[in-house]
Structure 1
Amino acid sequence: MLRADVRAARKRLTGRIRTTPVFHTSVNGPNGQVPVTLKLEYLQHGGTFKVRGSLNAMLAADPAADRVIIASGGNAGIAAALAAAALGISCTVVVPESAPHTKVAAMWSHGAEVLWHGTTYAEAHRYATDLAAERNALPLHAFDLPAVVAGVGVVGLELEEQVRGRPPILVAVGGGGLMAGIAAALGRRRQVIGVEPEGMPILRAALSADRPVEVGASGLVADGLWASRIGDIALDVARRYGVRSVLVSDDAIAAARDYLWREFRIVVELAGAAALAAVQSGVYAPPAGERPVIVLCGANAELGG
């Protein structure tokens, strides 16, 4: 995955996605106010950065696809359904039984066929792969497909233009696609830091083992919806550009999400608040004069959750 791939994705996506804004502010930290820049990616179409990747993959497909199939616990399915609808393509999303109703309803609202299979993302993905072969459809991956990673990496190119200097960029790690895309876009121009829940440290485990490894979920993420291993692309990019992992507790993630609503009236899902939790809990402490960039990546929270 190279910067050139991300730049090519940006050309394909011009006019089809939102260039999401940044917001310079200060947030509460362990020892007082901390200057930060928030990248408001939760304002993207569908409330998720993943629509960038789905659109790029469909536009780059050769031959052009008329049907796509993807496995997803939520946002990747919403993104694929939205992108397919925009391009006039049929979309099927395979979800695990524990997929949130709110996210399934969003997939339906964009015209997707939704099929339930298994209790984990891994089980749903295996079924989706077989189904794509059976139906001669384009198989999409939520985070481990070059065109998907390149598409979401356009976030990094936007930040390069929106934020002066070379501040570090804190990004939540689910399957690693957003982290990998941003790191591929920026190379060593800026430090990218992956923020993971303590209950699912898939990037840290892979960096330690020097290969993707299965990690059993616990706490807030033990719902079958998060990836249980880092993507191969994400691990390759993380090693190449020195991406490191910091871990945040469930309590810190929940507190960061509550803080965003209380102070800014920003509604994000738990994953969307993970990067902010790293600063507020002190696991990432910016040196004096540094204003880190925090990517708020998803807004598809359960209503009342």
Structure 2
Amino acid sequence: MRNLTYDDVKSAARRVAGQVRPVTVAPAGTGGTVTGDAAGTGGADGYELFFALEFLQHTGTFKARGARNFLQAHREAGTLPAAGVTIASGGNAGLACAWAARRQGVPATVFLPESAPKVKVERLLGYGADVRLAGREYAEALAACEEFAAESGALASHAYDHPLVAAGAGTLMEEIHERLPCLDTVVVSVGGGGLFAGVATAARQHGVRTVAVEPEHCRALDAALEAGRPVDVTVDSVAADALGARRVSAAALHAARQEGVRSVLVPDAEIVRARRALWDEHRLVVEHAAATALAALTATTPVYRPAPGEKVCVVLCGANTDPTDLIR
């Protein structure tokens, strides 16, 4: 599959215009004031932090962008079958696909691992999707989805490994840049790499560096960089329901090798801590996957340390979560 280009992102922006919610970018403090602890240099010499509130997107995550772009492109090309679309997902991509399919007037069949959160299954049913549970991990759900597509004639989408899906995700960076034209750095969580590949491709066009953040035990991108090619990894993290891809996309690996990109890992304990800080300090309820990006900055020992005066935007990518564990 070919690498993503900035022209892909611009084409996606045309297709999703007026169909997705424009991202809200909110100031979030400076350096050490972000979470009420020593998460940076703080004070006048600290970095400037912003949050991209993409969890306000349709279906609760950035995935709506890629799903809309994917199906609209096939509609324009005359390749969207009456049998509809099928996808394997940890939940969020399936939600976006079902939402976009309903808008296109075609059925959606979504395959999930048996471990998928109940809240995501219930929302899928609410979108009218045919939900099928298959296997314990995303890879097993994907195999079942591919078999179904071959038998039914449904159009097979992918949670992250498709240029149309990644380009749709990249439209988020276009909107962030419009709101913060002097941005230095964007920080984004990485699972299979669709959001990262799209954002990094657009960020590079605008001279913005990208920090790619993964849980220590869901390190598909980090492992691919180490091996020089996409490789299978074990998946074991509190954020695995959204970031638990066993293998990163080739497009993501290509993007990670470009100038201005840095890949970092954070432990689960810091992800949990960052998620709670977003609630305690900002009253923002997000998934562990979204908090993973912030954890790179707010960990007890930060894995990314912005320079004084650096303008940093953390993408809070989704909020399909059960918030009861945040309420003391």
Single out whichever of 37-46 and 188-197 deviates more from structure 2: 188-197
2:287 corresponds, among 261, 269, 277, to: 269
The amino acid across from 1:63 in the alignment is G
Q: Which residue of 1 aligns with 2:297?
A: 279
* 1:300 alignment partner in structure 2: 320
The answer for the alignment partner of 1:126 in structure 2 is 143
Return the offset for 1:225: 6.9
* 1-structure distance, mates of 2:64, 2:210: 21
Q: 1:105-184 to 2 correspondence within 5 Å?
A: 105-184=122-201
* TM-score (norm: length of structure 1): 0.96
Matches within 5 A, 1:21-32: 21-26=24-29, 27-28=34-35, 29-31=38-40
The Cα of 1:108 is off from its aligned counterpart by 0.5
Q: 1:205 to 1:97 in 2, by over 3 A?
A: same
Do structure 1's residue 290 and structure 2's residue 310 form an aligned pair?
yes
Whether contact under 8 Å (2:98, 2:108) holds in the other structure is yes
Is structure 2 residue 79 aligned with structure 1 residue 59?
no
Q: Equivalent residue of 1:169, what SS?
A: strand
Q: Which runs of 5+ in 1 are unaligned?
A: none
Count of residue pairs brought into register by the alignment: 305
CA contact (8 A) 2:90 2:241 kept: no
Root-mean-square deviation (Å): 1.6
Task: Please state whether the residue corresponding to 1:153 is helix, strand or coil.
Answer: helix
Q: Which amino acid aligns with 2:92?
A: N
Alignment of 1:247-266 (within 5 A): 247-266=265-284
The Cα offsets for residues 143-188 of structure 1, whole Å up to 9 and x where unpaired, read as 0011000101001111111113241110000111111001112325
1:19 to 13, 17, 22: 22
Counterpart code for 1:23 = A
Give, in angstroms, the shift of residue 220 of structure 1.
Answer: 2.0
- Of 177-186 and 222-231, more deviation after overlay is shown by 222-231
Alignment of 1:192-203 (within 5 A): 192-203=210-221
Decide which of 46, 49, 58 is 2:62's aligned counterpart.
49
Q: Which piece of structure 1 moves more, 180-189 or 145-154?
A: 180-189
Relative to structure 1, the CA distance from residue 247 to residue 159 in structure 2 (aligned partners, 3 Å threshold; closer, same or farther) is: same
Q: TM-score, normalised by structure 2?
A: 0.89
Matches within 5 A, 1:83-98: 83-98=100-115
Structure 2 alignment gaps of length 5 or more: none
Q: How far off is 1:303 after superposition? A: 4.0
Task: Measure, in 2, the Cα distance between the counterparts of 1:101 and 1:240.
Answer: 38
Alpha-carbon distance in structure 2 between the residues aligned to 1:50 and 1:97: 21
